[in-house]
């Protein structure tokens, strides 16, 4: 899997997980606040413009603003599937 596709999969999973926690409408609304992230109406990422690592960090920051450490804990299991991508703090 090329690096960009890994980021797309990672971000899609983050959005899916947050949809369960926050509800799909809020999860999608917060994800759409991230510059460089192109998302369809189902929450799937179709493209990333710019630095994918920065986009991931911005997305996590959006969710952390809502629910803090709960988000970070929920995301740690997703990051274990992507060992080539540095976990953001």
Confidence band for 36, pLDDT divided at 50, 70 and 90: very high
Residue with token string 């911005």: 58
Burial class for 31, CB neighbours closer than 10 Å (0-12, 13-18, 19+): buried
User: In this structure, is residue 84 part of a structural domain?
Assistant: no
How far apart CA 28 and CA 51 sit, in angstroms, is 20
Q: Where are the beta strands (DSSP E) in the chain?
A: 37-39, 45-48
Predicted confidence (pLDDT) at residue 86 exceeds the cutoff of 80:
no
User: In this structure, is residue 86 part of a structural domain?
Assistant: no
**Cβ atoms of 11 and 56 closer than 8 Å:** yes
Residue 39: its pLDDT value, please?
94
User: In this structure, is residue 8 part of a structural domain?
Assistant: yes
Residue 82: its pLDDT value, please?
85
- State which residues form the domain around 7: 3-79
Q: What is the mean pLDDT of residues 34-58?
A: 92
Count of CB atoms within 10 A of residue 37's CB? 23
Mean pLDDT for all residues in the chain: 86
Domain count, the chain: 1
Predicted confidence (pLDDT) at residue 1 exceeds the cutoff of 60:
no
User: In this structure, is residue 31 part of a structural domain?
Assistant: yes
User: In this structure, is residue 54 part of a structural domain?
Assistant: yes
């Amino acid at each position: 899997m090329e690096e960009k596709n890994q980021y797309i999969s990672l971000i899609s999973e983050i959005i899916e997980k947050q949809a369960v926690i926050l509800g799909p409408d809020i999860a999608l609304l917060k994800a759409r606040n991230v510059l460089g992230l192109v998302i369809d109406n189902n929450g799937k990422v179709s493209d990333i413009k710019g630095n994918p690592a920065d986009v991931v960090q911005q997305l996590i920051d959006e969710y952390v603003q809502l629910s803090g450490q709960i988000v970070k804990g929920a995301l740690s299991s997703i990051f274990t599937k992507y060992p080539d991508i540095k976990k953001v703090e």
